[in-house]
Amino acid sequence: MTSNSAGSPQHGGERVLPRNVKVLGWASLLNDVASEMVFPYLPAFLMVVLGGNKFVLGIMEGAADCVSSLVKLWSGAWSDRARSRKGFVVFGYAVAAVSRPLMAVLAAPWQLLLTRAADRVGKGIRTAPRDVMIADAADPRLRGRAFGFHRAMDHLGAAIGPLAALVAVWLITGEMFPGQLDPGQFRLLFGLTLLPGLAVVALLFFGLRERQPATSARGEFAWTLRPFDRRFRIYLLALFVFTLGNSSDAFLLVRAGEVGIPHGLLPILWCVFHVAKSGGNWLAGWFVFRVGPRPMILAGWGFYALVYLAFAFASAAWHIWALFLLYAVFYALTEPAEKTLVASLVSPERKGLAYGWFNFAVGIGALPASLIFGAIYQGFGGVVAFSWGAALALAASLILALVAPERQRLGQDRNPAAGTLP
């Protein structure tokens, strides 16, 4: 198999996304359809059917995210050593495809905790190797579009998932918005997620092409930051600081309810939000090469601070609808650019470890972020809480801005000795 057939960069076809990027995008869409069919119903299933409580829910989600962050670092480092990515990607999606329908047969809260942890382990296994495959498949000039396309498909799947769940619930119960599902109906809904999950695995197994490494020698296994220069480490620090102020978007739904959005409209608001993120990521991906990933990240974090402050002072329902659409702009500016910047800062043989550290920094920062934000929100109110998030976004921007960029063409892979920040 040649590297061209594996979706390697093609300088002559810069306007065409490579095969692997498209396959991974469609896989992400289908996987998110399955995931978002389940996620809105998990709290009710845990507390009504399995007899859990909010404390157990917090432990379950926190532990799942913690495990996922650690596994992302390991899988990135190990895929560098193996010089192979496809196996990690297929296996990671397969674990998720099996774990979700298993929820249909659970009988106790601890079983759901283990199943959710398995789902997040699957995410951890696939994430860093998948990001490397996207970066390797696309010409450096096309990486912003490639990551933008992938995130757009991911968000589109997240928008379709709740709608698919509503249709499934209607077929199961005969009602579009039933007051409450009974245990058997919950279990049937979870079992249906096996179908898109199997489609993901089949698509990746038959459609994804492994790119041949430049050398057949196995790489060195490394967990540390020592292979990376100061600029990449500062970038990770900036990401971590920003993530500490980037709490769960569930708090935005809480704020929407406080301002007066009816609970019945919240799923529609959430769906519109994901559609806006999908379109925004696709459009913004075109500008990453022209503008540069670093300026787009700085603009996105600054925009985040403004929108968060606006959420604090929102007083009407239309404010919330408008702010959710503006909040989608933050995602569009940052998501394609953040991952593109990683690839431009590190040597090719360390991309797996680099994306592992990228996802680890974001994941570890997210763990305390929602706890801190929730405590501030509960104790001091929304103005202080949202101001806290805005302040950390500005602090992260300052950290990243203090690193003066050197001139470099993004159309070339980074020289490991140069240490430039585009």
Confidence at residue 241, expressed as pLDDT on a 0 to 100 scale: 96
Model confidence, pTM: 0.78
Check if CATH label 1.20.1250.20 holds for domain 18-210.
yes
Domain boundaries, the chain: 18-210, 227-422
Confidence at residue 218, expressed as pLDDT on a 0 to 100 scale: 53
For domain 227-422, which CATH number applies: 2.40.128.690, 1.20.1250.20, 2.60.40.3880, 3.40.50.300? 1.20.1250.20
| Percent above pLDDT 90 for the chain | 43
Tens of pLDDT, residues 301-354? 999 999 999 999 999 999 999 999 999 999 999 999 998 899 888 887 788 888
Mean pLDDT of the chain: 84
Query: Distance between CA atoms of 404 and 407, rounded to whole angstroms?
Result: 10
Tens of pLDDT, residues 390-407? 999 999 999 998 764 543
Q: Is the pLDDT of residue 1 over 90?
A: no
Would 18-210 and 227-422 be classified into the same CATH topology?
A: yes
Confidence at residue 66, expressed as pLDDT on a 0 to 100 scale: 74
Give me the mean pLDDT over the 149-156 stretch.
92
Q: Is the pLDDT of residue 80 over 50?
A: yes
| Percent above pLDDT 70 for the chain | 86
Tens of pLDDT, residues 84-115? 789 999 999 999 999 999 999 999 989 998 99
Confidence at residue 260, expressed as pLDDT on a 0 to 100 scale: 86
Confidence at residue 142, expressed as pLDDT on a 0 to 100 scale: 87
Q: Provide the sign of the torsion angle of the four alpha carbons 82, 85, 86, 92, taken in this order.
A: positive
Tens of pLDDT, residues 42-71? 877 888 889 887 667 767 766 777 778 788
Tens of pLDDT, residues 200-254? 999 999 999 987 665 554 555 566 777 788 889 999 999 999 999 998 887 888 8
